[in-house]
Structure 1
Amino acid sequence: MSDNNSIKAVLYAFTANLGIALAKSGAAVWTGSGSMLAEAIHSYADCGNQVLLVIGMKRSAKAATQKHPMGYERESYIWSMMVAFILFSIGGVFAIYEGWDRYHHPQAIENAKIALLVLLAAIIMEALSLKGALSAMKEEKGKQSLWQWFKTTHSSELMVVTGEDIAALLGLVFALVALGLTVMTGNTAFDALGSMIIGLLLVTVAAVVGAEIHSLLIGESAEDVRTSIQTYLEAQACVMRVLNVWAINHGNSVMVAIKAELKPELSVHSAVQEINAMERQIKQTNSRVKWIFFEIDDKD
């Protein structure tokens, strides 16, 4: 998946969330709904998320320097981590607090029908935003399930956008149900509980997304690339044994380290030529591979 697709998905989500946030804010002020206010805060947090993600993608595209010879591609992980833990968590904790306060200090809800209409419109817009994210990941996802893709993807920014879209859609449904129950029963406790549930949902998403980004940040293996390279090397006539293959995600690129035993009759010049040919083929077959470090050895 290209960076261009990621940026489009993020900008599309930003536009949708800004419109939703403004509509929710107006409805929250008009109706006095706690769950609607929580949803508005969530949408503004989502807008902030997308701003940080774009900053991260732009900074990760900086050219390599002598001090950072492998470039800055992993910087996108740092900004995605900021989104997961700061904005998601702050939004979630505030929503829980707001719901708790409204539960113990009930406030009447006015013009609830307007709020319900806003929520229905927001659900449609959020569903379209999620559709855009799913479309952007289509090439990378392939035949994997959404959960399998989530566990193996290297695209932290798309992981965050998808996670927040799913959380937003579920949160809107909870808000709609909570506000609907409040309208039907006249009991504002349902609205307050809706706000707390939305907050718990945000905190849960923050924890799950944060854990996956943490794994990428400390150096997660690109298993599909590693398996492909291992299979290719084992089929080469000049290779006696493949001792080790590392394929580590580095943003959108992959760093590969290989330790293999070559046939002993090869001269140094022949070994160099064979290694160069294998490296070229590996890069042609695996477009994400940017660096290859090949070590000849006869033991693990």
Structure 2
Amino acid sequence: MSASGGTKAIIAALMANLGIALTKFVAFFLTGSSSMLAESIHSVADSGNQALLLLGGRRARRQATPQHPFGYGRERYIYAFIVAIVLFSVGGLFALYEAYHKWSHPEPIHSWHWVPVVVLVVAIALESYSFRTAIKESNQIRGNTSWKDFIRRAKAPELPVVLLEDLGALIGLILALFGVGLTLITGDGRWDAAGTACIGLLLVTIAIILAVETKSLLLGEAASPEDVRAIEKAITDGPEVERIIHMRTLHLGPEELLVAAKIAVRRCDTGEEIARNINETEARIRSAVPIARVIYLEPDIYSARSALGGVSVPGATDLTEAEASGNGSRRTQGGNAPHAG
């Protein structure tokens, strides 16, 4: 799913950014434009970011070890978080520093006036191709979800990162073209500095959004509401489970989900029957949600105390069956809400 689609989008973005960075540096050396320098550093940072995302995806495929029994799936989240920091420190802060410097000492573009315009137009075309690839790959898994929700709720970090990077790059190129164009028209280098400052603010904003969203993934997110409902249905569809007492889910990686649930079984079932029923329930869960690869089901006899997860609550032993049913028959939502940034 997202692994192959994300890799394709990353490679397309990497190839585009390497070519764009080279042409921008040439334009900067010929013209001395601060907008071109900021955009050059931006493209270098983006190229490094894509290399980090590819490295994270490769390291995440390592097999589980006794020290890391749940594998390395979260490495993809770690590298995506590093990308956000790199985008902030290397791209955004450098652009803001360069804008301050050029505003204090404005310089018009004295020679090669046509070079930055041509380079920026070519860069916009290349970046548009990269952005189109990211959109195409994202649409395959986005479904009817809005773009905002896709960025906020996607468990695989690569596509949201590439989407925001490419969007930021396109807007940054337009801002650079604006600053360079007005500098060429007016001869005032402060327009170039203003364009550079806007690029810096844009990169810092995108970096903060990426950092916040990736932090949520690093902390550990539950399954999506759709997957939670599918797991609940898979558990209760069989006659061997009376109800779900409580359940927790956790993404160990974008394509690996941990499911832990306490289920109410019949009082008359033998140990052999319970073991067989749990195996059948696990098979139904994996069929309904294939990424549910680590499943722990704890059988129990339903009671008010089991419904409360074994937590001692004053008055819990006095709950009637109706009250207990209302408090604990399906205590599955705690920890399962999608992240909101």
Q: TM-score by structure 1 length?
A: 0.95
Q: Which moved more, 1:33-42 or 1:83-92?
A: 83-92
Indicate yes or no: 2:218 matched with 1:254.
no
Indicate yes or no: 2:163 matched with 1:162.
yes
Indicate yes or no: 2:238 matched with 1:232.
no
**Structure number with bigger Rg:** 2
1:13-32, aligned counterparts within 5 Å?
13-32=13-32
Alpha-carbon offset, residue 292 of structure 1: 0.5
Secondary structure, in 3 states, of the residue corresponding to 1:296? strand
Secondary structure, in 3 states, of the residue corresponding to 2:268? coil
In the alignment, what sits opposite 1:60? 60
> Which 4+ runs in 1 deviate beyond 6 A?
none
Q: Which moved more, 1:275-284 or 1:225-234?
A: 225-234
Q: Does structure 2 retain, via aligned residues, the 8 Å contact 1:226–1:246?
A: no
CA distance in 2: counterparts of 1:25 and 1:265, whole angstroms: 76
Note the alpha carbon deviations across 1:154-202, whole angstroms, 9 max, x for none: 1112222111111111111111112222222222111101101101111
Alpha-carbon offset, residue 98 of structure 1: 0.2
Secondary structure, in 3 states, of the residue corresponding to 1:221? coil
CA distance in 2: counterparts of 1:243 and 1:140, whole angstroms: 32
In structure 1, which of residues 274, 287, 294 is the aligned counterpart of residue 277 of structure 2? 274
In the alignment, what sits opposite 2:247? 245
In structure 2, which of residues 284, 288, 292 is the aligned counterpart of residue 289 of structure 1? 292
RMSD: 1.5
Distance 1:265 1:119, change over 3 A: same
Q: Which structure 2 segments of 5+ residues have no match?
A: 309-341
Note the alpha carbon deviations across 1:276-295, whole angstroms, 9 max, x for none: 11111211221211100111
Alpha-carbon offset, residue 7 of structure 1: 1.7
CA distance in 2: counterparts of 1:245 and 1:126, whole angstroms: 44
Q: Which structure 1 segments of 5+ residues have no match?
A: none
Partner amino acid, structure 2, of 1:289: A
Alpha-carbon offset, residue 2 of structure 1: 4.4
Q: Which moved more, 1:12-21 or 1:78-87?
A: 78-87
CA distance in 1: counterparts of 2:223 and 2:113, whole angstroms: 50
In the alignment, what sits opposite 1:70? 70
In the alignment, what sits opposite 1:40? 40
Secondary structure, in 3 states, of the residue corresponding to 1:247? strand
Q: Which moved more, 1:197-206 or 1:282-291?
A: 282-291
CA distance in 1: counterparts of 2:191 and 2:236, whole angstroms: 62
Q: Which moved more, 1:121-130 or 1:265-274?
A: 265-274
Secondary structure, in 3 states, of the residue corresponding to 1:240? strand
Q: Does structure 2 retain, via aligned residues, the 8 Å contact 1:31–1:115?
A: yes
CA distance in 1: counterparts of 2:139 and 2:275, whole angstroms: 39
In the alignment, what sits opposite 1:188? 189
Alpha-carbon offset, residue 52 of structure 1: 1.0
In the alignment, what sits opposite 2:322? none
In the alignment, what sits opposite 1:146? 147
Note the alpha carbon deviations across 1:236-271, whole angstroms, 9 max, x for none: 333222122222112221111112212223222222
In the alignment, what sits opposite 1:197? 198
Q: Does structure 2 retain, via aligned residues, the 8 Å contact 1:119–1:172?
A: yes
Distance 1:31 1:20, change over 3 A: same
Q: TM-score by structure 2 length?
A: 0.84
Identity of aligned residues (%): 39
Partner amino acid, structure 2, of 1:140: I
Q: Does structure 1 retain, via aligned residues, the 8 Å contact 2:56–2:79?
A: yes
Q: Which moved more, 1:134-143 or 1:49-58?
A: 134-143
Q: Does structure 1 retain, via aligned residues, the 8 Å contact 2:108–2:183?
A: no
